[in-house]
Amino acid sequence: MSLPSPGVHLVPVDGGDLAVEVLPGTSAPVLAVHGISSSRRLWDWLHAQAPDLTLVAPDLRGRGDSLDVTGPSSVHQHAQDCLAVLDALGLDRVVVCGMSMGGFVAVDLAVCHPDRVESLVLVDGGYPMAAPPGLTRESLPAVVADRLAPLDRPWESLDQYRDQFSHTAPLLDPSDPLLDAYLSRELADGRVRLSGAALLADAESVLFGDSRWEDLTVPVRFSHAEWATGQGTSPVYPPDAVERYAAHAVTTRLLPGLDHAGSIMTRAGAVATAELLAEALA
């Protein structure tokens, strides 16, 4: 398989053009799918720790440089968009790495198009997550309020936005230059480049959609954080869930001392992900 050319590619999908960046390396291409409220810059930590990896990283519709892609948003729609990415870049069969919601997209892609997916690396996502008690579709906006709130106002400075971001990712190092680069890319003219409508639709898809993870036929490697949002918080994958999913995975790895964001946005999380990808690519 030839490597796609480095840089940003525009891939036609339903509703517009999806922005996809190829981060060059020496490995076979890895399709890297970010989480529900992030963008392709989520993979900067992984690229810094494993520059040998060739990463194909889209901005999913409603995020980053794909903000203006119109139409319905869901896990399945993102998987179809990712299929269009593989087709446009001439990638027949790839390892797919998904973080959080990106893991759900990876699972959908692998179940619907197993001929295009070599194996999966799921980073604190992909398998059904523990939902808050009493969660309903009507209460969903309150559950994701911390992700929606930053979209309703302009941000005067990166420092101000970083302070706000720390509420959803309290264990990240605020002095990390990769974090500043990530956050600055999220802003355009002081506004966060994230569609609230897409975020809500995708949250509903993740939490209430039918997961077909038991239909997977490709190898899965799964990492899970010790906490959800900060030290001591209940993880999105409690022990009983981990035990259930581990029976279906080639490798299962706990990420001690890390929360959901830290599972990829830290050196330790990125190194663990790189090691799972090395297994998958071997």
According to the model, what pLDDT value does residue 1 have? 59
**Is residue 83 pLDDT above 80, yes or no?**
yes
- Average pLDDT along the chain: 96
Statement: 7-127+194-281 belongs to CATH 3.40.50.1820:
yes
| DSSP assignment string, the chain | -PPPPSEEEEEEETTEEEEEEEE--SSPEEEEE--TT--GGGGHHHHHH-TTSEEEEE--TTBGGGTT--S---HHHHHHHHHHHHHHTT--SEEEEEETHHHHHHHHHHHH-GGGEEEEEEES-SSPPPPPTT--TTTHHHHTHHHHGGGGS--S-HHHHHHHHTTT-TTS-TT-HHHHHHHHHHEETTEE-B-HHHHHHHHHHHHHSPP-GGG--S-EEEEEES-SSSTTPPPSS-HHHHHHHHTT-SEEEEETT--TGGGTSSHHHHHHHHHHHHHHH-
Domain limits, the chain: 7-127+194-281
Q: What is the pLDDT of residues 143-156, one digit of tens each?
A: 888 889 999 899 99
pTM of the predicted model, to two decimals? 0.97
**pLDDT tens digits for range 92-140:** 999 999 999 999 999 999 999 999 999 999 999 999 998 888 888 999 9
**219-232 pLDDT, tens per residue?**
999 999 999 999 99
| Mean pLDDT score, 54-69 | 98
